[in-house]
Structure 1
Amino acid sequence: MNNQKVFFPTNIKFLRERKKLSQEAMAEILGIGRSKYNALENGQTKAPQPEDLIHFSNTFKISIDSLLKIDLSKISELKLRELEAGSDIYLQGGNIRVLAISVDKNNKENMEYVPVKAKAGYRTGFNDPEFIAALPKFSMPNLPKSGTFRMFPTTGDSMLPIPEGCDVICKFVADWLQVKPRTLCIVVLKGEQDFVFKLVTIGSEGTVLLESLNKLYAPYTVTVSEVLEIWQFHSYQTQEVPDTQTDLMEIKRMISSLQDQVLKKL
């Protein structure tokens, strides 16, 4: 016997109250009578008409399946904004995002490396087990035992002083709301950039602020619907030897020393 719980009545009430609308105002938007809307919201109509379901789906920008099967009051505001922006798993044909990984002979997770030549294809292959299995893979000592790690190459100088062309090791972030403001991350985007290495701040309004360490590059904002994956920075590897102390750094040190001496004499 199918005991699938239906959340439609509680969901439409939750969504109406989230928009701060009365039953009468909501009924007017939907083009139905208030008494009919009240019956739907209170579960007195056990089998809503298909056209009513379509109206609710179009009005709230959430699929009929999600309205029926998911308790929307239990998910985060960020996830709700994702659904409204078109990231609804049911609207996308039920292709629920599963992180593809590979393991060694001892069933221990490998760390995959995304080489530059595979960078352009990662956006379409990130959740394809065959694509991930074809990536170079290896293990590294001293990584935390919990979590999934992946290595990405960086290009450009937007993250200086982290050297251009280094490889960054990152940990997969499942819950984006746990990302603290200005956290270093690799962000996989739907657009032409493939993925970027930035300071990430998740906004409550369903936006993601991306900032460079190099102040010559202006920050910019994308919507959560443009983001495919977020990987939090763990460490980086480079073949570059750090520069010796520059003249500017020496001048700053001297100024700081003079300031300390002046303060001591006051």
Structure 2
Amino acid sequence: MNTPKIFFGSNLKFLRERKKMSQEELSFALEIKRSKLSAIENGQTKSPPFEDVINLSEYFKISIDSLLRIDLSRLGELKLRELEAGNDVYMMGGNLRVLAITVDKDNKENAEYVPIKAKAGYRAGLNDPEYVGTLPKFTLPNLPIGWTYRMFPTTGDSMLPIPEGSDVICRYIQDWGSIKPQTVCIVILKAEQDFVFKQVTLQNNGLLLESLNTQYQPYIVSVSDVLELWEFQRFVSETIPDISPDLQTIAKALREIQGDVTFIKEKSN
């Protein structure tokens, strides 16, 4: 059995520096010796006393499991704030989905693009920061701040008038219970080789998935079969959408035709 990697020392240093505290200031706040704090950060203390671990967990408002098992430096500021707010995968009994992300040199979250060739491996690597780090990055102006974004390629015509083959930019949905009926999403399913691009409605027996194209029948999937939900924000396409005329446009065209017919009749008499 492989020995699990422990991030406690490096996480402690990361959190301290994130708060712009010196070792002396943190040791004073925790009422421990500075030499002990330095030894923990440098990995010289392999088994720190339980009371120190608990005190550090309470001080930084991050669970012991997260302090030990997650490399917090790989998370963005938004995810760290979520952990500090109590939205912690281990504190919540494993019900919360923790998204693997990457950050730039300023510790700001990147927005990743999942190309066609990466789709097959995405479901296996979505929780792996190293895999996510291999995905291409993109930037787009005017995206609302405070969200995690990803771009996905689409296939098929189930979401017409959004053109087939469009790339859709989506934001990550952490709380599935917050989505409104018929929220347009990229849905990452366990049993699918491809992503599905659907309108999503939360129901008692699962998630109802509907296409914008009414030729496709809606269907329900179990919540346990869904890995991620990404809410649609905008799309990029080389094709201009083929928009069907609305009733007002049709009525206007009929009136124009009727007028032309009347004019012709009057002229012929």
Matched with 2:165 is: 165
Matched with 1:101 is: 101
Question: Is the alpha carbon distance of 1:96 and 1:183 closer, same or farther for their aligned partners in structure 2, counting shifts above 3 Å?
Answer: closer
Q: Could you tell me which amino acid in structure 2 is paired with residue 174 of structure 1?
A: Q
Could you report, residue by residue, the CA deviation over 1:13-39 in whole angstroms, capped at 9, with x for unpaired residues? xxxxxxxxxxxxxxxxxxxxxxxxxxx
Question: Is the alpha carbon distance of 1:226 and 1:241 closer, same or farther for their aligned partners in structure 2, counting shifts above 3 Å?
Answer: same
Q: Could you tell me which amino acid in structure 2 is paired with residue 214 of structure 1?
A: N
Alpha-carbon distance, 1:176 to partner: 0.3
Matched with 1:192 is: 192
* Whole-angstrom CA distance in 2 between matches of 1:191 and 1:253: 48
Of stretches 105-114 and 154-163 in structure 1, the one that deviates more from structure 2 is 105-114
Alpha-carbon distance, 1:95 to partner: 10
Question: Is the alpha carbon distance of 1:252 and 1:190 closer, same or farther for their aligned partners in structure 2, counting shifts above 3 Å?
Answer: farther
Matched with 1:229 is: 228
Contact 2:205/2:222, CA 8 A, preserved across alignment = yes
Q: Could you tell me which amino acid in structure 1 is paired with residue 195 of structure 2?
A: F
Alpha-carbon distance, 1:138 to partner: 2.1
Matched with 1:216 is: 215
Contact 1:123/1:194, CA 8 A, preserved across alignment = no
Q: 1:140 aligns to what SS in structure 2?
A: coil
* Whole-angstrom CA distance in 2 between matches of 1:234 and 1:218: 24
Q: Could you tell me which amino acid in structure 2 is paired with residue 227 of structure 1?
A: V
Contact 2:161/2:242, CA 8 A, preserved across alignment = no
Contact 1:168/1:235, CA 8 A, preserved across alignment = yes
Contact 2:161/2:243, CA 8 A, preserved across alignment = no
Q: What's the TM-score, normalizing by structure 2?
A: 0.56
Pick the structure with greater CA Rg: 2
Question: Is the alpha carbon distance of 1:244 and 1:186 closer, same or farther for their aligned partners in structure 2, counting shifts above 3 Å?
Answer: closer
Q: 2:200 aligns to what SS in structure 1?
A: strand
Question: Is the alpha carbon distance of 1:94 and 1:215 closer, same or farther for their aligned partners in structure 2, counting shifts above 3 Å?
Answer: closer
Matched with 2:180 is: 180
* Whole-angstrom CA distance in 2 between matches of 1:211 and 1:244: 19
- Pairwise mapping of residues 10-29 of structure 1 onto structure 2 (< 5 A)? none
Question: Is the alpha carbon distance of 1:170 and 1:235 closer, same or farther for their aligned partners in structure 2, counting shifts above 3 Å?
Answer: same
Alpha-carbon distance, 1:128 to partner: 0.9
CA RMSD across the alignment:
2.9
Could you report, residue by residue, the CA deviation over 1:176-195 in whole angstroms, capped at 9, with x for unpaired residues? 00000001001100012432
- Pairwise mapping of residues 1-266 of structure 1 onto structure 2 (< 5 A)? 97-203=97-203, 205-243=204-242, 251-255=250-254
Q: 1:169 aligns to what SS in structure 2?
A: strand
Q: What's the TM-score, normalizing by structure 1?
A: 0.57
Gaps of 5+ in 1: 1-88, 259-266
Alpha-carbon distance, 1:196 to partner: 0.6
Contact 2:185/2:198, CA 8 A, preserved across alignment = yes
Alpha-carbon distance, 1:141 to partner: 1.2
* Whole-angstrom CA distance in 2 between matches of 1:210 and 1:236: 19
Q: 1:118 aligns to what SS in structure 2?
A: helix
* Whole-angstrom CA distance in 1 between matches of 2:244 and 2:186: 29
Q: Could you tell me which amino acid in structure 2 is paired with residue 101 of structure 1?
A: I
Identity score, percent = 61
Could you report, residue by residue, the CA deviation over 1:200-254 in whole angstroms, capped at 9, with x for unpaired residues? 0010x241000000111100110101000001111001111345887x9964542
Question: Is the alpha carbon distance of 1:111 and 1:223 closer, same or farther for their aligned partners in structure 2, counting shifts above 3 Å?
Answer: same
* Whole-angstrom CA distance in 2 between matches of 1:230 and 1:157: 20
